[in-house]
Structure 1
Amino acid sequence: METFWLFIICSLLFAINFFITKKFGLKNVEYEIYFEESKKTEGDEIHIIERIYNGKLMPLPWVKSEFEVSASFFMENAKNYVVGDKLRYISIFFLLPYQQIIRRHRFVATKRGFYKLDKIYLVTGDLFGLSTDDRCYYVNSNITIYPAFLDLKKHLLPRSSLSGEVVVKRHYYEDIFYFAGIREYQSYDSFNRINWNATAKYNTLMVNKYEYTSSGDALILLNVQSSEYERKEVFNKNAIEFGIKIAASLAKECLDSHVPVGFVCNGVDEETLQPLEILLPSQDSNQLLKILETLAHIKIQVNEYFEALLFEVLRNYSFRELFVITSFINKEMEDSILLYSSLGVKFTIILLEYDEKHLNLESENIRIFLAKQQLLESTKVS
C-alpha cells in the first residue's frame, strides 16, 4: 500500500512539474542577441552579446540557447559544431528568480562579407528532462566585415619588368613640362619622344622621360567570373576573394595618392541579392569606406558577363584610367580594350590567373600585372 501511494504521489508531482514547465517555462523570459559592432575588418575580433532575464518567481534549472553564425567566424574552445557553411553555437544558462545574465561571446572574423543573425532557438526544462518548453526568436542583427588590405608590391608583379613598379603609378600621366631624364626606347614609345642627341651618344634609341602628374578619374572593375564559361555559379571563389582584397588595397593606394577612384563589378549584393551599382569616382573622405562596404557585400555570383559590363562602362563614361581585375580576357574584352586604348584610355590589367597569351596586349596605354601567388603556382607546375 505504501508503495502504491508513493507511486501516486510521484506521478502527481511529475504531472505538476510537467504542467508548470510547459505553461510557465519561458513565460516572462526576456531574451535578445546582437552583434556588438556593425563594422569590422577581416581578421578582427568581433563580439556577439546575449542577454537573458527571468522575470518570474520560478527558477529555471537550465536554459539552452542555440544560434547559427557563419563558419567564417572562429572561436577557440567553443561548444559548437559546423553544419555546412554555418557554425552552430550552444549556450547554457541557470537562472534564479528575477535574474539577468549577459554574455559576450568572442569570435574572429576570418573572411570579409555581410553576416546576419536571424533565427535563435531557446529551450528550457525541468531537472529530470521529462518536460521542456521551447521558443523560436527572430532577430535582425548584422555585421559588415571589410576585406583586409594587401601590400601590392608583394602580391602584384609587373609584366614588363621585375623592378616592383607601383601599380597606382599608372594613374599618373606624363607631363611634357617636367623632364625627368632619358631611358631606352620601348616598342610602344612614339617617335616624337626620341632624343636624337642621346641616341647618337649611346648608339641606341633613347627617349625622353617625364614626371607623372595626376589627371582624370579612375575606375576599378572586378570580374567575379573565374572563367568565361561560368554563367551564374563561380567555381574558383578563392581567386575572386584574392581579387577583392586587391581591389580594396588598390582603392586605398589611389585615394592616398589623391586620385579620384570608383568601383564596379558584375556580382550581386549579398544583402539585397540585386546587381551592384557603379560607385562613381570621388575623392571624398568617406569614399574608401563606400568602396569597402561594396566589396564586403559582394556575393560571388555572376550577374552579367564581364565583357558586357566592360563595354557598357567604356561606352557610357569617360574615365581616363581603368583598373581591370580579372582571371581571364576573352575575345570581346580584348577587342574593347584595344579599341579604347587606341582612343587614349589607359588600362591596368591585373590577371588573377596566369595566361601567357594575354601578355602580348601590353602597350603604351595597356599595362599588365600578374597576381604573384598565382604566378608562382603556375611556374611550379610548368
Structure 2
Amino acid sequence: MAFYLLVPLVAIVLFVQGRLFRYAAMRRLTYARSFPVRACFEGDRIEMIEEIENRKSIPVPWLRVESLLPTGLKFRSQTNLDISSGMLFQNHKSLFALMPHTKITRRHDVRAVRRGCYRLGSVTLTSGDLFGLARTMRQQDVGAELLVYPKPVPLDDMPDAFRSWQGEMVVRRWIVDDPFVVAGVRDYRPGDPLRGINWKATARTGDLQVQVRDFTADGRLMVYLNIEDHELMWNTVNEVERAERGIALVAGIAEYAARQGLAFGFGVNAHDIDGPRISIRMSPASGAGRVMEVYEALARLVLARTESFAELLEAEAGRLEDRTDILLLTAYRSDKLDRAAELLRSKGHAVTFLMLDEVLPKANDRKAGEGE
C-alpha cells in the first residue's frame, strides 16, 4: 500500500520541482563574457572572462553556456569546459552550478593564433531541474570584441629586395639636408650661419665648430599589398598563409618606417570588416600613434579582393601628389603590374617590387625551429 502511495508522491515532486526550476532558472540570472584587453598581437596569450550571477533565493542546479567561437582563438583545456573544433569555428561549452545569491567568475586561457577582428556574438544558456527532465533556454548577445594585430616581420627576415631598397633611399635624387640628424662637427667657415655653431665643441677645442647635418630621403613611404594569388583571381584568396605573411610584412615595414621617422601609408585590394567593399588606403603620415593605426587597419582587414592590383596602382598614380617611395608586395608580376609601376615612376615616384615568396621560406624555417 505504501508503494502505491509513494509513486504518485514522487511524480508530484518531480512535476513540481520541474515546473519550479524551469520557471525560475533564468530569472535574475546574469551572464557576461569579456576580454580584459581590447587588442593583442598574434601569438599572445590572453584571458576570456565569464561572469555569471544568480541573484535569487533558488539555486540553479546546472547551467550550460554554448557558443560558436572562431578557431583563431585557441583555448587551453580545463575542467567544466568542452570544445569541439571545426575548420572555421569551434563549439564552446561551459558548465556551471550556482547556489542562491552566488557569483562565479571563470577565466579561460586563450592564445590568439591568427590575426583578425573577433566578435563574440551570442551565447545560448540552457538550464533545468535537478533530474534533467525539464529544460529552458535563453539566447543572449554578449558583444565582446578582440582585435588581434599581425605579428610584424622582424627586420632580419625582410626580403633581399627590401634591403636593397634601404640602401637606395640614401642616394635618391631628391635627398635633402635633414636638420634633425647630426653627423658630427667641423671647423667654422665664412658664411656658415651662427645658429649652426656647436658651442660645446667650440669650448672644448677653442675654435669655432659647426654641426654637420646628415642627409635623408624625402621621408614618404607607401606600401601596397596585393592579396591576389595570380592575375586571374576573382574574390577568393586560396593562398591564405601567403596573404597573411604579406600583412605581417606591412606591419614590419610600418615599424621600420616609424623608427626612421618616415611618413608611412599603405594600400591593399581588400576591405575593412565593417566598411564597404572598397580597397583600404591610408595616406602617408607620421607621429606617435601611426603604427598603431596601421595595426588596427590590418587587424580589421578581410581577405576578399575588391579590385585588381593593377587597377589599384593606376588609381594611386593619379592620387599621389608628392614624390614617394613605393614598395609593391605581391605574389606575382605581370605586364599589367609592370605598366602600372612605370606609370607611377613617370610621376616621379620610386617603385620597388617585393615578392612575397621571398619571405615565406624564412618564416617557415623559424616555425619549424620553434617546434610549433
Does the 8 Å CA contact 1:73/1:87 hold for their aligned counterparts?
no
Q: What is the letter of the counterpart of residue 93 of structure 1?
A: F
Shift of residue 341 of structure 1?
2.3
Secondary structure of 1:23's aligned partner: helix
Distance 2:224 2:8 in 1: 77
In structure 1, the residue matched to 2:31 is 31
Given residue 359 of structure 2, which amino acid in structure 1 is its aligned partner?
A: A
CA contact (8 A) 1:269 1:298 kept: yes
Q: Deviations over 1:221-279 (max 9, x none)?
A: 11111111111111111110010011000111011111111011110212345424421
Whether 2:124 is the aligned partner of 1:136: answer no
Q: Which amino acid letter does the alignment assign opposite residue 361 of structure 2?
A: Q
Measured on the aligned residues, the alpha-carbon RMSD in Å equals 2.3
Name the TM-score, length of structure 2 as normaliser: 0.81
The letter for the 2-side match of 1:43 is G
Question: Is 1:245–2:245 an aligned residue pair?
Answer: no
Amino acid at match of 2:327: F
Query: 2:269 is aligned with what amino acid?
Result: N
Q: Name the aligned partner's letter for residue 373 of structure 1.
A: P
Matches of 1:234 and 1:47, distance apart in 2: 31
Structure 2: stretches of 5+ with no match in the other structure: 178-213, 366-372
Question: Which residue number in structure 2 is paired with residue 214 of structure 1?
Answer: 217
> Residues 173 and 291 (structure 1 numbering): CA distance in 2 closer, same or farther, change over 3 Å?
farther
Q: Deviations over 1:306-326 (max 9, x none)?
A: 110011001221242111111
Query: Any idea what SS the aligned residue of 2:110 has?
Result: strand
8 Å CA contact retained: 1:152, 1:167:
no
Question: Which residue of the partner structure matches residue 83 of structure 1?
Answer: 86
1:345 aligned residue (338, 349, 352): 349
Share of identical aligned residues, percent?
22
Letter of the 2:47 counterpart:
H
Q: Which residue of 2 aligns with 1:301?
A: 304
Q: Does residue 1:328 correspond to 2:332, yes or no?
A: yes
- In the other structure, the counterpart of 2:163 is 165
1:1-382 matches, cutoff 5 A:
1-78=1-78, 79-158=82-161, 165=163, 167-174=165-172, 213-272=216-275, 274-318=277-321, 319-353=323-357, 370-371=358-359, 373=361
Cα offset for 1:287? 0.7
Please state how far the C-alpha of 1:150 moved relative to its aligned partner.
1.5
Alpha-carbon contact 2:157-2:363 (below 8 Å) kept: no
State the TM-score, normalized to the length of structure 1: 0.79
Q: Aligned partners of 2:306, 2:268: CA distance in 1, in Å?
A: 9
- Please give the alpha-carbon distance, in whole angstroms, between the structure 2 residues aligned to 1:329 and 1:166: 18
* In 2: Cα distance, 1:273 partner to 1:65 partner: 34
CA contact (8 A) 2:270 2:280 kept: no
Conserved 8 A contact 1:64-1:123:
yes
Partner of 1:188: none
SS at match of 2:152: coil
Contact 2:22 2:129 in 1 (8 A): no
1:196 aligns with none
The amino acid of 1:28's aligned partner reads R
Change in CA separation of 1:303 and 1:212 when aligned onto 2, cut-off 3 Å:
same
Aligned length: 324
Task: Check conservation: 1:168, 1:254, Cα contact below 8 A.
Answer: no
Partner deviation per Cα, 1:122-165 (whole Å, 9 max, x = no partner):
1112221111121110121101111102223334123xxxxx93
Paired position in structure 1 for 2:190: none
Amino acid paired to 2:293: K
- In structure 1, runs of 5+ residues without a counterpart are 159-163, 179-210, 354-369, 378-382
Kept in 2: contact 1:261–1:280 (CA 8 A): yes
